[in-house]
Amino acid sequence: MKGIIISLAALSVTTAYAQKIEGPSVISKTSFAIVVDDSTYLQAAEEINAYRSAIEGSGLGTYIVHHHWNKPEEIRKVLKDLYARPQQLEGAVLIGDIPVPMIRDAQYLTSTFKMNQKINWQRSSVPSDRFYDDFHLEFDFIKQDSLQKNYFYYSINPDAVQQLHLSIYSARIKPPVVPGKDKYTLIREYLRKVVAGKKQQNSLDNMFVSTAHGYNSESVNAFAGEQLALRNQFPAMFLPGNTIRFFHFTNDRALKFHLLKALQLPETDLAIMHGHGDSDIQLINGYPYVSSPTESKENILRYLRSKIRAAQESGKDIAAAKANYEKYLDVPVSWMDNALDPAVMKDDSIFNHHLDIHIEDIIAARPNARMVLLDNCLTGSFHLDRYLAGYYPFSEGGNIVSVANSIGVLQDLWATELLGLMQHGVRVGNWFRHIAYLETHIMGDPTFSFNSSSKLDLNAAITGRHDAAFWKSLLKTTDADVQALALVQLAGKMDKAAYSTLLKDTYFRSGYESTRLEAFLQLEKLNNKDFITVLRAAASDPYEFIRRRSLYAIGEIGSDELAPAIANMIAYDMHSERIAFKAQTAMTFINEVPMLEALKEQNADKKFIAAVTRNGQKMKELADTILDASKPDKKRISEITMMRAYRYHQTVPALITIAKDGGSSEPVRLAALEALSWFPRSWRRDDIIALCREAANGNGYTAALKAQARKNLNIFQ
């Protein structure tokens, strides 16, 4: 092995595609790859080579691969080849103008994205580098975008693996547009910052967490629960000499200025920012929560003024708009008289701008927080010229890494899963490979890590080939996230029955919220009797987020036996705002009779009884609609595709009937089969599998139907 590595260092390898591969210059068990386009390499060769040297200074052998990349397949092939070498690849960074894979037909691999793929392909596809870092997935090329030549559309191959399991980690060093600087200047400056940062001795001892308005139903219990969990994930952070701060949107009507100040502090290491967002904004505050009559009136006035301006911008009749709101809100028309006054418009504009963090705020703030985790929708839309997450590392501050999402994401994500590993010197990429969805991305250097005095080399553990005994030994540590990591790593290394028992026992014995939740999530993948046992207990777990996740799982299963768990939450946990929201959704997925019986057993409020009764009638009408061949295909398909977002297990028999019905059109049958792919944990799972086996191998099914059936079977594995 040593001889191979030395020869790679001594030679530059040119492939048949004229790709230049410069081998590592240090011996290490794993390796890393810097992938860059030729133009960027020519403009920043000195900085790229310095970056490589800095990485190798930490003992990680690093390739440099540069080429004029014409399509994503070229890069994927190089990475797979490097992964197959003795000095196995552990990760890669994509620098500069790297093709963007736009993934279609794989929304089940996202946290929640469910957009109609018939609309604009740029919007309905998922920009995802899982194309480059998950070698288990297989992709079928569709086309190159006619306008954005760097976009390449792919579909997930139906006959391949349908679950994410990253082979390596990946990241992007792709500068957004910054006034007054070209992209090559930004890349050079960023790499110099990274190299300088790797020379610093910086441990993780200062962090903050922020929660914005509208996030997780603004639940106080969710906010408090996260603090309890973080205390166990980062126990040292709560000791004198270290700092952890929690910001809530109710702390200030313009909280963004406090957050920007916290981001600017040179000592800030990690920032976790929860909230809604878009490609160019982090939403922080809404209108103030007030109780005084004067301030309440001012909120109404702002609202009315915004509506009148919106009417003017859309060309509507202003007088008619005022009359409408006068009647709708029973307010005097005089409250809207100054809506179009320039001075008032300016004041309102300033007020609204102060509510949220904009791209310009990040540029001006020059964030110093080394790592920023953006738990928002769309802030990581790296395929765009301007994407907010990119302005963190490419600012003139000390930020090295941001982690963000390229599309809309689930509010109820476990954003801090395994994050405590970062305090032990784990490279951000080695943490990331355990938590990524199709849309999750690292912006910046994925080899970034904090200094640690830990004797345990978790990077080597994660990238090595340790057996079950090694990982079981880590369950004896007094570290919540090291234990959680061990549970993740033990999957596939133990007999399934023994693994299931271990997970169940860990759930019931652990006092660590994150360890317990990891045991729950790993058991959920097994979806067996042990999971049902744990699921019932999880519905009343002390940790609010476990209770919340249990409601998701109950909805995914939908069996009658889980009705009492929902009813118990409705009886005793409705003060937890996010639980209340999810419980009222989950109860609609259970059959009417057992749900009613469970609610009556708890003496539930009559409004819940009425809601379940209405839902029972709705399910009958829904089944009748989708089964009615006399209805237009468009109507039937619209109702069928709703099941991708709502697990109405009551409609599964109807969907199976439609999929089998040779008298229905192929689009309708295909919609039914595709909708069934979203029910992998349903209590009617066996019926769906039987249908898919019949469709995949039987007569009376078109090639498209057969392909979807095979895809479903792979999803259900």
CA atoms of 474 and 491, how far apart (whole Å): 14
- pLDDT tens sequence across 46-79: 999 999 999 999 999 999 999 999 999 999 999 9
**Strand 151-156 versus strand 401-405 pairing type:** unpaired
- pLDDT tens sequence across 235-246: 999 999 999 999
**Which residues, listed in sequence order, are joined to residue 209 by a DSSP beta bridge?**
246, 272
What Å distances lie between residue 146 and 75, 121, 151, 153, CA to CA? 21, 11, 9, 11
Please state the separation of Cα 656 from the chain's center in Å.
31
Residue 296, helix vs strand vs coil:
helix
pLDDT at 18: 66
For 2, counting Cβ atoms within 10 Å of its Cβ (0-12 exposed, 13-18 middle, 19+ buried), the class is: exposed
Question: Six-digit token pair at 702?
Answer: 């078109």
Provide the phi-psi class of 217: left if phi over 0, else alpha when psi is between -120 and 50, else beta: left
- Per-residue confidence at 4, pLDDT binned at 50, 70, 90? very low
pLDDT at 6: 33
- Per-residue confidence at 436, pLDDT binned at 50, 70, 90? very high
CA atoms of 521 and 2, how far apart (whole Å): 41
The yes-or-no verdict on residue 512 having pLDDT over 70 is yes
Look at the chain and count its residues. 717
CA atoms of 655 and 641, how far apart (whole Å): 11
pLDDT at 412: 92
Contact 188, 43 (CB under 8 A): yes
Where is average pLDDT lowest: 72-76, 263-267, 447-451, 455-459? 455-459
Question: Six-digit token pair at 158?
Answer: 């139906």
The yes-or-no verdict on residue 272 having pLDDT over 80 is yes
The yes-or-no verdict on residue 3 having pLDDT over 90 is no
The yes-or-no verdict on residue 14 having pLDDT over 70 is no
The yes-or-no verdict on residue 481 having pLDDT over 70 is yes
pLDDT at 588: 97
CA atoms of 707 and 519, how far apart (whole Å): 34
Contact 681, 553 (CB under 8 A): yes
pLDDT at 710: 96
**Contacts with 338 (C-beta within 8 Å, 6 or more apart), sequence order:** 305, 344
- pLDDT tens sequence across 192-232: 999 999 999 899 999 999 999 999 999 999 999 999 999 99
**Contacts with 269 (C-beta within 8 Å, 6 or more apart), sequence order:** 202, 203, 204, 205, 206, 207, 369, 370, 371, 450
pLDDT at 256: 97
Q: Report the percentage of the chain scoring pLDDT > 90.
A: 95
Give the chain's mean pLDDT: 95
> Which secondary-structure segment (H or E) carries 444?
strand 440-444
- pLDDT tens sequence across 551-597: 999 999 999 999 999 999 999 999 999 999 999 999 999 999 999 99
Contact 368, 336 (CB under 8 A): no
For 252, counting Cβ atoms within 10 Å of its Cβ (0-12 exposed, 13-18 middle, 19+ buried), the class is: middle
pLDDT at 2: 34
What torsion, rounded to 10 degrees, do the Cα atoms 632, 638, 644, 649 define?
Answer: -60
Q: Which amino acid is at 569?
A: M
Where is average pLDDT lowest: 14-18, 30-34, 92-96, 258-262? 14-18
Residue 380: name the closest of 430, 297, 443 by CA: 443
pLDDT at 453: 87
pLDDT at 527: 95
Residue 436: name the closest of 684, 137, 663 by CA: 137
Q: Which amino acid is at 677?
A: S
Q: DSSP for 101-147?
A: EEEES-GGGSSS----TTS-HHHHSEE-THHHH-TT--EEEEEE-SS
